[in-house]
Amino acid sequence: MEFPTQQIIEIISWSFLVYGILAYAGYSFSAFFSFFEIREYKRINNQRDEMALLQSTSLPPISILAPAYNEEANIVENVRSLLTVNYPSCEIVIINDGSKDGTLTKLIDSFHLIKDDSLYFDILPSQQVRQIYRSTFKSFKNLTVVDKMNGGKADALNAGINVSKHDIICCIDVDCVLESDALLKLIKPFLNNEKKVIASGGIIRIANSCVIEDGKITEVRLPEKFIVRAQTIEYFRAFLMGRMAWSRVDGLLLISGAFGMFDKETVIEAGGYNSKTVGEDMELLVRMRRLMRAKKEEYSVGFIPDPLCWTEVPPNWTILRRQRNRWTRGTMETLWTHRSMLFNPKYGVLGILSTPYWLFFEWLAPIVEFTGILFFIALLIMGQINWFFVLGFSMVTYGFAVLYSVTALFFEEYSFQQYKKTNYVYKLVLTAFLEPIFFHPFILWASLQGNIDLIRGKKSWGTMSRTGLGKVGKEVMAQ
Amino acid sequence: MATLNNILEDSPWILKVNVLFAILFFLLVAIIVLALVFLRKYKNGREQRKRSYQDRIDAFLNNYLFDEQFDFRAEVKNFRNRHLVSSLQKKMAIRQILEYNENLKGESSNSIKRIFHELRLDEFVLDSLKNGKWYEKSRAIHVLSQLLVRRPGVVARYLNDRHHSVRAQAIYYFIKTAEDNPLSFFAKLNKELTLWEQIHIEDGIKHIYKGPIPDFSKWLDHELTTVLVFSIRMIQQFNQFEHIPQLVPFLHHHDRTVRKETVRSLRKFNYEGLLDKVIPQFFSEDQLVKKEIVKSVQILGDLKMLQVLKSAFTQQEEWQIRLELLRAEKSMLSNLNPNL
Q: For A424-448, write each residue's pLDDT tens digit.
A: 999 999 999 999 999 999 999 999 9
Q: Give pLDDT tens digits for A178-236.
A: 988 899 999 999 998 889 999 999 999 999 999 988 888 889 999 999 999 999 999 99
DSSP labels for A96-155? EES-SSSHHHHHHHHHTEEEE-------S--SPEEEEEEESSGGGTTEEEEEE----HHH
* B192 → closest Cβ in A119, A194, A413: A194
B43 touches A at CB < 8 Å: yes
Contact B18 A120 (CB under 8 A): no
d(CA A428, CA A234): 11
- Pairs of residues, one from chain A and one from chain B, whose beta carbons lie less than 8 Å apart: 112
All residues of chain A having their beta carbon less than 8 Å from the beta carbon of residue B195 are: 60, 190-192
**R_g (Cα) of chain B, nearest Å:** 31
From the CA of B72, how many Å to the nearest CA of chain A?
Answer: 31
Specify the pLDDT at position A386: 85
- Hey, are the CB atoms on B29 and A121 less than 8 Å from each other? no
Cβ A153 vs Cβ A47: under 8 Å: no
Q: For B163, which DSSP code?
A: S
E-strand ranges in A153-227 read 168-172, 177-178, 196-206, 211-213, 216-219
In this prediction, residue A478 carries a pLDDT of: 31
Residue type, A457: G
Query: Which residues 87-146 of B are in CB contact (within 8 Å) with A?
Result: 134-135, 138-139, 142
Please state, in angstroms and rounded to a whole number, the distance separating the CA atoms of residues A188 and A428.
32
What pLDDT, on a 0 to 100 scale, did the predictor assign at position B171?
Answer: 94
Q: What is the CA radius of gyration of chain A?
A: 23
Residue B239 C-beta-side C-alpha neighbours within 13 Å: 0
Average of per-residue pLDDT values in chain A: 90
Quick one: A24 exposed, middle or buried, by C-beta within 10 A (0-12, 13-18, 19+)? Answer: middle
What is the phi/psi pair of residue A97, to 5°?
Answer: -85, 60
Rounded CA-CA distance A83/A95 in Å is 15
Residue ranges of chain B with per-residue pLDDT less than 70 = 1-4, 7-8, 313-317, 338-340
Provide the percentage of residues in chain A whose pLDDT is more than 70.
94
Tens-digit pLDDT profile for residues A292-317: 999 999 999 999 988 889 999 999 99
CA distance to A67, A74, A171, A173, A370, per residue, from A78 (Å):
12, 6, 15, 10, 40
Residue A397 CB contacts under 8 Å (≥ 6 apart), including other chains:
A20, A436
Closest chain A residue by Cα to residue B207: A56
Q: How far is A455 from chain B (nearest CA, A)?
A: 36
Cβ-count burial B204-230 (b if 16+ within 10 Å, e if not): bbbebbeeeebebbebbebeeebbbbb
- The whole-angstrom distance between residue B106's C-alpha and the CA centroid of its chain comes to 26
Q: What are the two backbone dihedrals, phi and then psi, of residue B25, each rounded to the nearest 5 degrees? A: -65, -45
In three-state secondary structure terms, A462 is: coil
A384 reaches B (C-beta below 8 A) = no
Q: What averages of pLDDT result for each successive group of 10 residues across chain A (479 residues)?
A: 79 90 92 91 72 80 96 90 90 96 95 91 93 93 96 96 95 90 92 92 92 87 95 94 91 93 96 92 96 94 90 94 94 95 94 94 94 93 88 92 96 91 94 97 96 84 58 36
pLDDT of residue B208: 87
Q: What is the ipTM of this complex?
A: 0.86
Phi, psi of A90, rounded to the nearest 5 degrees: -150, 150
Q: Is B34 on the interface with A (CB under 8 A)?
A: no
Query: A235, A19 in Cβ contact below 8 A?
Result: no
Span between the terminal Cα atoms of chain B, in Å: 93
Q: How many CB atoms lie within 10 A of CB B23?
A: 13
| Contact present, B113 and B147 (Cβ < 8 Å) | yes
- Nearest to residue A310, comparing CAs of A220, A420, A183? A220
Residues facing B102 on adjacent strands: none
Residues B143 and B102: beta-carbon distance below 8 Å: no
State the CB neighbour count (10 A cutoff) for residue B239. 10
From the list A47, A388, A396, which residue is nearest B138 (CB)? A47
The full DSSP string for A235-281 is HIIIIIIIIHHHHHTT------TTEEEEEHHHHHHHTS--TT-S-HH
- Which residues, in sequence order, are CB contacts of B216 under 8 Å at separation 6+? B183, B231, B232, B234, B235, B238, B240, B243
User: Which residue ranges make up each domain of chain A?
Assistant: 1-48+201-256+295-479
A28 touches chain B (CB under 8 A): no
In contact, A80 and A215? CB cutoff 8 Å: yes
The 3-class SS string of A281-303 reads HHHHHHHHHHHHHHCCCCEEEEE
Angle, helices A75-83/A103-111, rounded to nearest 10 degrees: 50
**B13/A contact by beta carbon, under 8 A:** no
- Are B250 and B258 in contact by the 8 Å Cβ rule? The answer is yes
Q: Inter-chain contact A392–B18, Cβ cutoff 8 Å?
A: yes
CB contact under 8 A, A44 and B165: yes
Nearest Cα to A297, choosing from A169, A186, A188, A197? A197
